[in-house]
Amino acid sequence: MDIKKIKTLGELKKSGYKSLPIKEEIRKNLLSRLSKGEETFPGIWGFEDTVIPDLERAILSRHNILLLGLRGQAKTRIARLLIQLLDEHMPIIEGSEINDDPLKPISFQGIQTIKEHGDKTPITWVHRSERYVEKLATPDVSIADLVGDVDPIKAASLKLPFSDERVIHFGLIPRAHRSIFVINELPDLQARIQVSLFNILEEGDLQIRGFKLRMPLDLQFLFTANPEDYTNRGSIVTPLKDRIESQILTHYPRSIEIARKITDQEANIVEGLSKKVNVPDAIKDMIAMIAFEARSSEYIDEKSGVSARMGISAFENLISTAERRMVINKDKSTSTRITDFWGIIPALTGKMELVYEGEQEGPYNVALSIINGVIEDKFLEFLPHPDKMKAGESDPYGTLRQWFAAGNEVQLLNDDSEKGFKSKLDEVVGLKKLADTLKPAKADLYFTMELILHGLSEVDVLNKTIVDGELSFSDPFGNMLDDLTSDNLN
């Protein structure tokens, strides 16, 4: 039977429908998913053995929940996924301001409607997507916003005294009756506003301008907070924190593989562009590594955290950098390059909270140092550090050293065409042969060649200079000799 065809209270009773408290409803649907082996929080990666089991236990215990973690740890995404654990449709008394249950009305309006119409009381069905209310806690949020206030306009239009319950304008929380109510960044809520949540969590009491209403609100509360908020902007008052039964700690991805999954899932890439722009797996790893490198950087405040959004935005910028170059050069296709990483710097600088030393360096230089650190790490995954090679071991960089020592240079422009970029790399004697020893995929050969040049500059075998979108690789000792010659002439 299509339950949405039920239009009156009488029909609802005859159908045998039974309403459940929201926490029981979520619990029931979670148990159903668990018993079928279904994914409970799809699209959440890296929390399978940590956050999600804690969350499932909290739901089974019918708890209100606090998700505590640094920015960019999927707290809000988890909250929004709770919607999927609600029944698809829920009946309410038609016209009810607070989602009155036709079988258990709690508002004056709902009770009076049933008294007047009985089993003919009209009902309507609310989709689960409408049973989610989210509020960002800011210092200007008032009790009236959350709980409600007396509405003088309603009192005047209905010619009712302020003592009449019907003049109350309900706030967000009563209107979220039988729904999921989320408050993001809870510590930013003023302490006196947090106090107003006490009775709602514990007793279901509402107090509005002298009205003491006994309204057993049925809500699933979920709060999010950043631990840094406890010292920087505010705190969760102890009595309220005590009434939130489960506090669950979130965390950043713990592996490059998980970080890549998140980026692949969340990056907003223009449809069809992936067929024109090849992205080597190693570059995807490097994009994921950027956030890891940033989190360990001495220039970035580790307490503030580095959001997963950094990797997502960086990947989007990387693709756009390659697309722009492809269009400028009228190439039909292209492959992302390490030189494209200079196009992701704007995606990094706005997502880093710098410490004093970082401010002195400047956000651009900090971003550049992070990128260079990732390049070095990726290079050393494939090839040995020249300073750590064993005595008597053949030098894989010998031919390259000789070519650059002879005074040769390589200049790579950010906007080099595919043909120009490849021809410049082909000119470097010994470069392709060394890249071939790593057995890259055919489409990734020139990326591997470029990585070797960048990597050798990071381990001081080559000198790299960056001027106005041009990268130049040369012999470091050649530059030293030039400087000495210049000094002698002077």
pLDDT tens digits, 331-352? 999 999 999 999 999 999 989 9
| DSSP states of 15-29 | TT-----HHHHHHHH
Residues 124, 24 share a domain: yes
Q: Is residue 483 part of a domain?
A: no
CATH number at residue 119: 3.40.50.300
Residues 272, 170 share a domain: no
Please say if the pLDDT value at position 489 is more than 70: no
Q: How many domains does the chain have?
A: 2
What pLDDT score does 484 carry?
A: 45
Residues 328, 190 share a domain: no
Tell which of 249, 276, 291 closes a domain.
249
Q: Which long-range contacts (CB under 8 A, 24 or more apart) does 27-33 make?
A: 27/59, 27/60, 27/62, 29/85, 29/86, 29/87, 30/56, 30/59, 30/60, 30/85, 31/60, 33/85
Tell which of 214, 249, 284 closes a domain.
249
Cα gap 13→103, rounded to integer Å: 8
Residues 308, 174 share a domain: no
Residues 404, 387 share a domain: yes
Residues 370, 221 share a domain: no
Residues 205, 56 share a domain: yes
Crossing angle (nearest 10°) for helices 281-295 and 309-328: 140
pLDDT tens digits, 68-119? 999 899 999 999 999 999 999 999 999 998 999 999 998 888 999 999 999 9
pLDDT band at 231 (very low <50, low <70, confident <90, very high): very low
Residues 284, 243 share a domain: no
Reference 452, options 469, 472, 432; nearest CA is 432
Q: Which domain holds residue 221?
A: 3-249
Q: Is residue 486 part of a domain?
A: no
Residues 17, 64 share a domain: yes
Residues 239, 321 share a domain: no
3-state secondary structure of 150: strand
Residues 350, 205 share a domain: no
Q: Is residue 485 part of a domain?
A: no
Task: Output the CA torsion sign for 121, 115, 103, 204.
Answer: positive
Cα gap 231→285, rounded to integer Å: 35
| Global pTM value | 0.86
pLDDT tens digits, 243-258? 899 999 999 999 999 9
Residues 167, 46 share a domain: yes
Please say if the pLDDT value at position 184 is more than 90: yes
Q: 21-25, 62-66, 274-278, 479-483: which range is least confident on average?
A: 479-483
Residue 333, φ and ψ in degrees, nearest 5: -155, 165
How many CB atoms are located within 10 Å of the residue 203 CB?
Answer: 11
Please say if the pLDDT value at position 488 is more than 70: no
Q: What is the mean pLDDT of residues 211-219?
A: 76
Q: Is residue 490 part of a domain?
A: no
Q: Is residue 487 part of a domain?
A: no
